[in-house]
Structure 1
Amino acid sequence: MNFNQRTTTVILGFSIVLLLKDIIVTKSFAQTLIPIETQNNAFVLEAEKDKDLSSIYFGKKLVDINEYKLVSGLYKQTEEYTGLANAAYTPSGSRNLLEPAITVTHADGNNSLDLRYVSHKQAKVNDNVSLLSIVLKDPVYDFEVKLYYKSYFKEDVVEQWSEIKHGEKGDVVLQKYASANLHLKAKSYWLNQYHGDWAKEMQPEEARLTHGIKTIDSKLGTRANLFQPSVFMISLDKPATEDEGNVLYGALEYSGNFKVDLELDYQDNLRIIAGINNYASPYTLKPGDTFTTPPFLYTFSNQGKGNASRKLQSWARKYKLQDGNGNRLTLLNNWEATYFDFNENKLAELIGDTKKLGVDMFLLDDGWFANKYSRNDDRAGLGDWQENKAKLPNGIGSLVKEATANGVKFGLWIEPEMINPKSELYEKHPDWVIKQPKRNEHYFRNQLVLDLANPQVQDFVYGIVDRLFTKNPELAYLKWDCNAVIYNAHSAFLKNQSHFYIEYMNGLYNVLKRIRAKFPNVPMMLCSGGGGRVDYGALQFFTEFWPSDNTDPMERIFIQWEYSYFYPAISSSNHVTDWGKQPIKFRTDVAMMGKLGFDIVVNKLPENDLKFCQEAIKNYNGLKDVIWHGDQYRLANPREGNVASVMYVDEAKARGIIFNYLVNNRYGSNSASPIKLKGLDPRKKYRITEINLFPGTSSTLDVKKVFSGDFLMNVGFNPDVNTSRTSVVLEFKEVK
């Protein structure tokens, strides 16, 4: 099994500086330094004379590579009793006294493991990406762990994972199998983590870590990020701000159960152990087989959160997100206009409204399928993926043709991993459903989950997508939803139920790999009842994600703000809906900070509202390249004042856009002070104009003035946000 390798070819880039470039196998052993250096950072490992592999430095890169070996001697901490407290991959059952990265039961029943350095090598993938591998072996048992570090030089990002295999005479049981094991030194550590629920995604919490173990985890099986996502930040010495402080970003590239242990040990060092959650999942590994963990990615910045997020966003666009540097389709969705109640005539009207509005595509949401148990609400039909004859007597194909005739594209919603008990599929294949055979079924949104550990189910799910595109080759987009978690975890297919959670995710990734192999260019939205499955393990197969079902624009300002620390704007699907009390201008402006879509009844819009939307879409089409591919700067935090402000600037620092919102409606709330811009060229001159003005209104800003980048970054600019101007969008251009 292999969680970390993509099947599609990607262009990778980065150079890693290593002291020793070739494979090193030691007989008479001396200390071996293994620095992993990116443009600004260094992560340094050392194989000591007893062949323990230790982490000795993590932070800003030093000028002299040879000085890393001096670091350890400068710390006068309490005694280290084991030699493993700063291990690069901590085993259990031998000398270790702290939380392990790996725990095994050998074929003979022994629970101890000792991992010693054997060799390392590096492969330069291209000018920007290198891959380091380090072989560790147990001196007593035929058991091996290979650690991988893929480093991206310009982006300062490292992906780390492990491969575990053995040659023992029987099966070995992996009790724990982390992807990475980091070791940090600082005076104090501050964790910024997230929690939430449906419509409450990405709620931040920051607190100082105390001694012991803080765990971030999920046991939901699927939709794993519903309550707690696997992304986090660690600030060193003091809480980092947007532009100051030392901060580490971490994220596991995995869509199932995850676990991150943050252990502040007795020496006041922080150990981060991240990987698949081993909850209910001891994994039996046969001789010669390899268990590959999903990548854990991290980046470090000594210039605050903004710098770290721009590195991660750039990395994601180039190397992980499906078509991250490409284009996206703006759309009109029918969900809030019709819900389940529609027919061909009603949809034809909405397709015409798509063209009238000025977006690229019409998206048909839930309710288009199933006949015996018609999909007229969320209690029936999931699993029966044939067009509903009453609603669509001429099938999906007629709608695709209608869209083409109107000069727009057509997209479709599916939820192929799920099943309603009230469905033909359930009647035919109850053994395909995840459920305990002796317990009552328990439903999440009136549905259960199909068993993707079963290859037949994988073929079925793949076949849903394959048939849709085979019958409708002009189909332009899929919204892939996933609304349920896993209850009563049990696979009728698997003999070893402790493999279930892992094999489910393995099955899901197998399906997605097959889809991308046959349909590499189809845009797909990753949805999970909102943001229940937002991670780079899944996003390598998707062009965008749905942050939240909560589309109230005031709430979305906060939700999208937090997602932006880890994910680029091009990946965030933001729709204008009727949620919230804000005017259409406010709602549209907020949705423009990513991939724009609409979920409104166009023919019921007042005339000026429609005119505004049409003009805003034209503005968006002229600026979307900067929003999607430019550098993002968070200027004013909505949690810290009356105004939220977010800026995007192109690579040439010649053009950009600034979104400004009033987030406090109390009397007299406004942008009292100028907002300092970021990322400009101090020597260039800029003119700022207001766009997205509502018909019949005019700007209060003086567009004749020209400012230097130096002035805008050190003094700032006031967008004049107040209770009568709650949303102000500014475009700036270089004046030559």
Structure 2
Amino acid sequence: MRHLLCAAMGLALAGNALEAAENQVIRISTNHTDLVLQVAENGRLYQTYLGEKLLHESDLKELDWAVHAASDGSVCKRGWEVYSGSGNEDFFEPALAVTHNDGNASTWLYYVSSSMKEVEGGTQTDIVLRDDAYPVEVTLHYVAYPEEDVIKTWSEIVHQEKKPVYLSAYASTMLYFNRGSYYLTEFTGDWAKEAQMSTGQLQPGKKIVDTKLGSRAAMHASPFFMVGLDQPASENQGDVLMGTLGWTGNFRFTFEVDNVGNLRVIPAINPYASVYPLERGEVFATPEFVFTYSTEGTGQGSRNLQNWMRKYQLKNGTGDRMTLLNNWENTAFNFNQELLAELMREAKDLGVDLFLLDDGWFGNKYPRKDDKAGLGDWEATQDKLPGGVPALIESAKQAGVKFGIWIEPEMVNPKSELFEKHPDWAIHYPNRERYYYRNQLVLDLSNPEVQDYVCGVVDKLMKENPELAYFKWDCNSPITNIYSPYLKERQGRLYIDHVRGVYNVMKRVHANYPDVTMMLCSGGGARCDYEALKYFDEFWCSDDTDPVERAYIQWGFSHFFPAKAMCAHVTSWNRASSVKFRTDMASMCKLGFDIGLDELSQDELAYCRAAVANWNRLKPAILEGSQYRLVSPYESNHMAVNYVSEDKASAVLFAYDIHPRYQEKLLAVRMQGLDPEKMYLVKEINLMPGVTSSLKANGKVYSGDYLMKVGLDVFGFQQMQSRVIEFVAQ
């Protein structure tokens, strides 16, 4: 009887139209992956398959939407509902929770229609679902990119009830798996220890990875994850789901193993303190969730995402990148116009493209002498920089380099002219003592007037200095003192509308200055989401530039980002390591320097110049080629990564001895991605002046087959040593 009642509810929704849709199959495919959905006889939409692509279309009809539910099956037939609403017969975590005008908190969504259209690089599928008792509609969007084996999905929620409804859950999607075991790899950390990887088996119940920081949101947890199916995620074999949410605010990943051992994965905005009042006719669009399903381990999954990101997501993803010299680690706040001009000449001597002026250049009534004052007052400090930014750009031109500048326009110091004039523009309590992170407050980007102000910071700098070539855009504080003077009684919208305001600013700046290079920074790598990187060319992975720590940080981030998006600088952190080791570590990403050249010996400076030239020459492999992670620092005392150009004519291997044990067993490193039929000349580069290579293979020619099956002995026993080896097809 219960089964009949469940089916009857669906049939009542759409009558004959529903009968026509019954058992309709919707296939969302890439070259190697299938996501298959089916409309059941109850009129609702279920996932029937997610995995390696099925070869025969006829097999799709054999997939059954109903799953074994154990005791839960006593209610009615159960399936993996694609966008499950709260209050229905499913007893586990929903995608959507709505409180309607009459106080009813249940939502049952039924299939209405679906359509497909071609978009750049792939096919978009749109599916409309509707509640049978309330005028609430959800549209599910999927874009499948066949060549890259990537699927992007998001949802849109709208209603026509007379008054606002209240959303307390609003996921981007839901994905399901039926395997023997599941292993979650998460990327967590803090300032100076970003993207630290840890793996654990998911047990019955819920595992939640989330953040409540508002801005600088990824400081403790990164917005991406990996799930190994039947085994922990492995580099070169095994099935793995790799996913990331494009949201620079609070996010939540829910991993729930149910009563029969099935897993549901729910990526979403974190609804913490965000019961959202949705107005009639207003469309609530969730963030995009981007994922790949790999049957060849995380290495192939990473290459899928890196390739897709360069083509379709990252700003200027197929364009060039500039090397640079930053002044922060050299001078901090202590500089003047003459010193900066000298550093620009040093940048030219080093061979980099650009000089980047960091924090400390602005504020007059409250000059930026430290981090306690000046944020918000974006005028050059007269006694420090009497010629202002125009004089600095002129000095850069005379030196023969481009000029970039640091800004943090979303923040304000209470000790600033901006806060004196507009205290209501900052997020802060009206009736409590304020507390501060880094002596600053977050501007309220839910307020359109504040959005205009932030855009105006960039507009003013660009209008006065049209030759500005680069912005480092920082965000050093999470949201504190959590109250919006603008939203007043609508505080449930703050965490969401603030992020929407941030993106609105980013879109406007990008539209006005599409050719200006932008670095995304947040006290290090606490902003690293795919959505923000639509408007930024690259991001700062971490303030920690110790090359040993950077090995782990860069290894972690490389699972989801191409090298050209990941900024890495040579600094004075960890002086126990050589300049060569520090430079070689930075060279596996987007190379930059943040060091006083007067600290370097003549040999070290000559080495750095040569390393910059080599990096520029190897851009086709490092920036545009395929990356292969060969030896993990998590599993050994060494690390190795190689890049191969698209035409397989050139490759480069970065090999690092981090902390080898005394006389430990050393293994040959086997390359990946080469053409087995090609012959490659092996040459060690990035050598200190006067040093000859001790690599036995140096100067010899090997087949790609040999290099991938036998490999080369590149590791040694010394602490913090490195090799960079170039392979050129003959």
Range into which the TM-score falls when normalised by the shorter chain: over 0.9
Shift in CA distance, 470/660, structure 1 to aligned 2, threshold 3 Å: same
User: SS of 2:55's equivalent?
Assistant: coil
Matched, 1:516 2:510: yes
Distance change (3 Å), C-alpha of 1:687 and 1:504: same
Question: Pick from 616, 625, 632: which aligns with 2:611?
Answer: 616
Matches within 5 A, 1:319-358: 319-358=312-351
Distance in 2 (CA, whole Å) between partners of 1:440 and 1:82 is 54
Tell me, yes or no, if structure 1 residue 299 matches structure 2 residue 292. yes
Structure 1 residue aligned with 2:441, among 440, 448, 469?
A: 448
Determine whether 1:50 maps to 2:59.
no
Equivalent of residue 259 in structure 2, options 258, 266, 287: 266
1:402 aligns with 2:399: no
Counterpart in 1 of 2:534? 540
SS for the counterpart of 1:362 is strand
Q: Percent identity?
A: 48
User: Which has the higher mean CA deviation after the structures are superposed, 472-481 or 712-721?
Assistant: 712-721
Q: Cα distance, 1:705 vs. partner? A: 2.5
Which amino acid in the other structure matches residue 643 of structure 1?
A: H
Q: Secondary structure at the match of 1:512?
A: helix
- Equivalent of 1:646, from 626, 641, 646? 641
Secondary structure (helix, strand or coil) at the match of 2:174 reads strand
Aligned to 1:422: 415
- Find the counterpart in structure 1 of residue 680 from structure 2: 686
Q: CA deviation at 1:722?
A: 3.3
Residues 629-644 of structure 1 correspond to what in structure 2 (within 5 A)?
A: 629-644=624-639
Is 2:494 the counterpart of 1:500?
Answer: yes
C-alpha contact 2:21 2:39 (8 A) present in aligned 1: no
Q: Is the 8 A contact 1:660 1:728 kept in 2?
A: yes
1:35-434 superposed matches below 5 A? 35-72=27-64, 78=70, 80=73, 81-83=75-77, 85-126=79-120, 128-434=121-427
Q: Secondary structure at the match of 2:171?
A: strand
Q: Give the whole-Å Cα distance in 1 for the aligned partners of 2:77 and 2:90.
A: 8
1:173-195 deviation per Cα after TM superposition (whole angstroms, max 9, x unaligned): 11111111111111110000121
| Matches of 2:424 and 2:350, distance apart in 1 | 46
Contact preservation (8 Å) 1:281, 1:499: yes
Distance in 2, matches of 1:240 and 1:217, equals 21
2:26 is matched with 34
Aligned position for 1:695 = 689
The match for 2:478 among 485, 493, 503 is 485
Q: Distance in 1 between matches of 2:118 and 2:596?
A: 53
Q: Are the equivalent residues in 1 in contact too, given 2:184–2:225 (CA < 8 A)?
A: yes
CA RMSD of aligned residues (A): 1.5
Distance in 2 separating the partners of 1:540 and 1:694: 39
2-side partners of 1:730 and 1:28: how far apart?
62
Structure 1 contact 254–536 (Cα < 8 Å) conserved? yes
Q: Please state whether the residue corresponding to 1:66 is helix, strand or coil.
A: helix
What displacement does 1:109 show? Answer: 1.6
Q: Deviations over 1:450-495 (max 9, x none)?
A: 1111111111110000100100000000000000011121111113
Structure 2: distance between partners of 1:27 and 1:289: 31
Superposition deviation, residue 76 in structure 1: 5.6
CA contact (8 A) 2:182 2:231 kept: yes
TM-score (norm 1): 0.95
Contact 2:233-2:298 within 8 A present in 1 as well = yes
Q: 1:363 to 1:193 in 2, by over 3 A?
A: same
**2:655 corresponding residue in structure 1:** 660
Counterpart Cα distance in 2 of 1:487 and 1:549: 22
Three-state SS of the structure 1 residue aligned to 2:330 is helix
CA positional deviation for 1:84: 5.2
Can you give the 5+ residue segments of structure 1 that lack an aligned partner in the other structure?
1-23
Please say if residues 682 and 727 of structure 2, whose CA atoms lie closer than 8 Å, have aligned partners that are also in contact: yes
Query: What SS does the aligned partner of 2:360 have?
Result: coil
**Distance of 1:554 and 1:593 partners within structure 2:** 13
- 1 CA distance for matches of 2:330 and 2:655? 29
What is the CA–CA distance in structure 2 between the aligned matches of 1:335 and 1:285, rounded to whole Å?
A: 45
Secondary structure, aligned partner of 1:86: strand
Q: Which stretches in structure 2 are left out of the alignment for 5+ residues?
A: 1-15
Q: By how many angstroms is 1:626 displaced?
A: 1.2
1:727 corresponds, among 702, 722, 728, to 722
Counterpart of 1:465? 458
C-alpha change, 1:82 and 1:420, in structure 2 (3 Å) is farther
Alpha-carbon distance, 1:642 to partner: 2.5
Taking the aligned partners of 1:625 and 1:160, their CA distance within structure 2 comes to 31
- Give, in whole Å, the separation in 2 of the partners of 1:325 and 1:95: 48
Distance 2:215 2:76 in 1: 38
Q: Please report how far the alpha carbon of residue 263 of structure 1 lies from its aligned counterpart in structure 2 after TM superposition.
A: 0.5
- Amino acid corresponding to residue 315 of structure 2 in structure 1: Q
